[in-house]
């Protein structure tokens, strides 16, 4: 398949993935808010647990939540499942097009672990399936009955996966796999637990049977897990745009801090939506601030380990660029992954090196995102030389 068609396939899948994810996340946020907004009213229909009044788009809405099913259900009952399923499907297809098809550039970094394409893909798929099995086992075990302990175990599971990914894949590949790892758990929660449990409960209620309370408890537990994991997973999914995250030597620690900050932001919003007194959840603000401050501190630029003792000439800078950059960043890239230079950045002249010096410094000197997968085996000394040359241009 030509790089042109792969680019279009990548674009269309990314577009679909984002649109579907917006629908899934929006539904998750809305229904958690709706549950918290329900109130008992002086006059309510039989079997109604609580109601919520809303105004939007020039009209008023009145929503009722039943504790038992009404005598008859309409044929257009909405289940809210396909957003989750199709988000996962498009995400996996996008993973295949972006990371599996171009594994040597985006997924594998020989300096981290020398892997074959097939080996890297197998590890990827096995880790996603294994993550769900471990998480589901934790939830079904006695641990699942203790919220605090379960939260701690899931946190350790995700951070442990992040640690392993950063020691197997490239920086970009590692963090996108943390996102896929969590996203797989979230989608499987819907497909394997939430929707099946709801179908059983609806059937029991319509037959006049006493509903299995455990099914409802488990479904709500998994739904809340998805709600709290949403904000961290979004950061992981956009991480490949930020080398300060993907190329940090301890990126797994950054993942841990993002998990804490994202979950606490979600908790703050949830408790505010529930109408709790601010004093009861004010503690989340310093926790969020501390987690983000520590993340910024640990990702702050550090001095390069390699030392350049003298000035670096324009000729030397161009030699490094010719060896490691222009296969992708030129008018006619020789790297088969690209038909045009990524982001239109051409680095085949000294004037262009000066023009894009800030981006080069961020991507290839302070960060290690470039060259992709370090397929050209750039050395730390060469990175330091580029850094010294860029500093002399300022």
Percent of the chain with pLDDT over 90: 49
Strand partners, 48: 66
Q: What angle do CA 162, 164, 168 make, to 5 degrees?
A: 115
Pairing mode of beta strands 48-56, 59-66: antiparallel
pLDDT band per the 50, 70, 90 thresholds, residue 274: confident
Tell me the backbone φ, ψ of residue 56, rounded to 5 degrees.
Answer: -165, 140
Q: Which residues contact 185 (CB under 8 A, 6 or more apart)?
A: 131, 132, 135, 225, 229
Is residue 174 scored above 80 in pLDDT? Answer: yes
Dump pLDDT digits (tens) for 313-347. Answer: 888 888 898 888 888 898 888 887 777 787 788 88
Strand partners, 53: 62
How far is Cα 227 from Cα 274, in angstroms, rounded to an integer? 15
Is residue 367 scored above 80 in pLDDT? Answer: no
Count Cα neighbours of 214 within 13 Å in the Cβ-side half-sphere: 4
Give the range among 75-79, 184-188, 251-255 with minimum mean pLDDT: 75-79
- pLDDT, residue 349, reads 87
Query: Cβ distance 157 to 65 under 8 Å?
Result: no
- pLDDT, residue 285, reads 96
Query: Cβ distance 369 to 171 under 8 Å?
Result: yes
Closest of 233, 304, 240 to residue 262, by C-alpha: 233
Closest of 274, 233, 99 to residue 171, by C-alpha: 99
Q: For residue 62, give the 3-state DSSP assignment.
A: strand
* Tokens 């579907």 found at: 20
| Start-end of H helices in the chain | 3-37, 82-95, 117-140, 147-166, 171-188, 195-206, 213-238, 243-246, 251-273, 284-298, 314-324, 350-355, 357-360, 380-393
Query: Cβ distance 327 to 334 under 8 Å?
Result: yes
Q: For residue 181, give the 3-state DSSP assignment.
A: helix
Q: How far is CA 75 from CA 70, 128, 359, in A?
A: 13, 36, 56
Region of residue 265 (phi > 0: left; psi between -120 and 50: alpha; otherwise: beta) = alpha
Question: What is the mean pLDDT of the segment spanning 217-241?
Answer: 92
- pLDDT, residue 256, reads 96
Give the range among 41-50, 142-151, 161-170 with minimum mean pLDDT: 41-50
pLDDT band per the 50, 70, 90 thresholds, residue 282: very high
**How crowded is residue 187: how many other Cβ atoms within 10 Å of its Cβ?**
21
How far is Cα 88 from Cα 132, in angstroms, rounded to an integer? 13
Is residue 212 scored above 90 in pLDDT? Answer: no
Closest of 227, 244, 122 to residue 182, by C-alpha: 227
pLDDT band per the 50, 70, 90 thresholds, residue 1: low
- pLDDT, residue 359, reads 85
Q: For residue 360, give the 3-state DSSP assignment.
A: helix
Burial class (CB in 10 A: 0-12, 13-18, 19+), 175: buried
Token code pair at residue 34: 């709706």
- pLDDT, residue 304, reads 59
Q: How far is C-alpha 291 from the geometric centre of its chain's CA atoms?
A: 18
How far is Cα 314 from Cα 329, in angstroms, rounded to an integer? 18
Q: Which residues contact 96 (CB under 8 A, 6 or more apart)?
A: none
Closest of 298, 237, 197, 217 to residue 24, by C-alpha: 237
- pLDDT, residue 153, reads 97
- pLDDT, residue 126, reads 97
* Residue 371 preceded by cis peptide, ω within 30: yes
């Amino acid at each position: 398949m030509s790089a042109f068609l792969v680019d279009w396939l990548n674009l269309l899948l990314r577009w679909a993935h984002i649109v579907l994810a917006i629908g899934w996340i929006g539904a998750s946020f809305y229904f958690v808010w709706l549950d918290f907004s329900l109130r008992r009213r002086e006059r309510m229909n039989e079997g109604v647990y609580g109601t919520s009044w809303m105004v939007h788009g020039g009209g008023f809405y009145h929503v009722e939540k039943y504790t038992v099913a009404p005598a008859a259900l309409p044929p257009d009952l909405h289940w809210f499942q396909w957003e989750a399923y199709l988000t996962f499907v498009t995400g996996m297809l996008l993973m295949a097009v972006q990371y599996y098809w171009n594994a040597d550039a985006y997924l594998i970094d020989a300096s981290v672990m020398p892997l074959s394409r097939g080996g890297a893909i197998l590890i990827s798929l096995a880790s996603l399936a294994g993550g769900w099995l471990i998480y589901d086992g934790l939830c079904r075990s006695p641990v699942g009955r203790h919220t605090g302990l379960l939260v701690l175990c899931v946190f350790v599971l995700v951070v442990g996966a992040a640690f392993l990914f950063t020691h197997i894949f490239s920086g970009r590949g590692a963090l996108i796999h943390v996102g896929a790892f969590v996203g797989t758990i979230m989608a499987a929660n819907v497909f394997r637990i939430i929707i099946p449990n709801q179908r059983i409960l609806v059937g029991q209620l319509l037959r006049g049977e006493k509903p299995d309370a455990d099914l409802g408890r488990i479904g709500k537990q998994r739904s809340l897990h998805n709600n709290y994991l949403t904000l961290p997973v979004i950061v992981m999914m956009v991480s490949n745009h930020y080398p300060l995250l993907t190329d940090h030597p301890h990126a797994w620690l950054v993942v841990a801090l993002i998990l804490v900050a994202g979950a606490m932001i979600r908790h703050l919003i949830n408790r505010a939506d529930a109408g709790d007194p601010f004093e009861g959840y004010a503690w989340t603000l310093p926790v969020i601030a501390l987690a983000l401050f520590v993340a910024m501190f640990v990702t702050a630029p550090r001095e390069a380990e390699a030392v350049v003792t003298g000035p670096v000439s324009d000729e030397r800078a161009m030699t490094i660029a010719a060896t490691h950059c222009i296969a992708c960043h030129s008018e006619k890239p020789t790297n088969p992954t690209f038909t045009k230079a990524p982001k239109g950045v051409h680095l085949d002249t000294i004037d262009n090196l000066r023009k894009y010096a800030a981006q080069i410094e961020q991507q290839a000197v302070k960060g290690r995102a470039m060259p992709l997968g370090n397929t050209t085996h750039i050395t730390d000394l060469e990175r330091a030389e580029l850094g010294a040359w860029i500093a002399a241009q300022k």
